[in-house]
Structure formats: structure tokens, C-alpha cells
Amino acid sequence: MTINTWLASSPRLMQMVRWMYAIGFLSGTYTHIKGILAHGFLATPVPPAIGVYWDTLAVLDPLTVLLLWGRPKVGLWVAVVIMGSDISVNTLVYLAGYFGPPAAHMVPLSLFEQSLFGLFVFLTAPLAYASIGNHEQNSTIC
């Protein structure tokens, strides 16, 4: 039995994966909305394009959760793109020293946690995508 076959035969496991994604992306939503409410839009000392990207995640993160449940194959693609771009942007911001000089051999805990979640998404998304049947993709609520 391949892992794809195993995942496809275990809808409960796939539901758990989706819930993990939802928790991760809703945590991101909370972080971005909290920052906007506390400091306003584009309030971080980073280039405007990065600030716009971060503030936009307050909408994109919950949209990803909705897509994961309503249009799971699309939601998985969006989840992978968001995690790849967000980890890249946050790593660039850290290495560029926008919030202080980077410490040798140290990574901020938030970036480490985000990277672990990103790794989970990158490893499970292809398996989850392959396990989603056409009947599930065409449904409005899974």
C-alpha cells in the first residue's frame, strides 16, 4: 500500500491534516490582524511592498482556510504558495536586519515555528492533493 493509497483510504486522516492547516493559517490571520489593530496598516519598518504583503495576509490566510474546505485542491495550491512566499519574505526581513541584527546561528522562534508549519504543508500538500477525489473537489462543503 503506497502512502497515497493509505491517505486516500483514510478520510479521517485527511480531515486532521486540513484541521492542522486551518489552525496554522488562522494563527497567521490572528497575528496579522493583531498587528494591524495595534499599529495600523503598513506600520512595520520594512519596504512598502513587504508591508502590503504582510497586511494582505490578514485576508489571504482566512481565504485559504475557506478554500481548503470548499475547494480543497485550490486551497492546497494557495496554502503552498502562501507558505513558500511568507517564509521567504520573513527570512529576507530577518537576514536584512529590519528588526535588529541577525544573531549568528540563531533564528527567531516565530520564524522557526512558521518554517516547521511550512515544512508540514510542503510535505503533506502533494499527498493530500492526490488523495482528494473529484467528487470532493466538486462539492461546496467537504
Rounded to an integer, the average pLDDT of 112-128 is: 93
Q: Are 1 and 34 in contact (CB under 8 A)?
A: no
pLDDT at 14: 82
Q: Are 125 and 139 in contact (CB under 8 A)?
A: no
In this prediction, what percent of the chain has a pLDDT beyond 70? 82
Tell which wins on pLDDT, 132 or 42.
42
Distance separating alpha carbons of residues 80 and 11, to the nearest angstrom: 21
pTM (2 decimals)?
0.84
Residues 54-104: tens digit of each pLDDT: 999 999 999 999 999 999 999 999 999 999 999 999 999 988 887 777 666
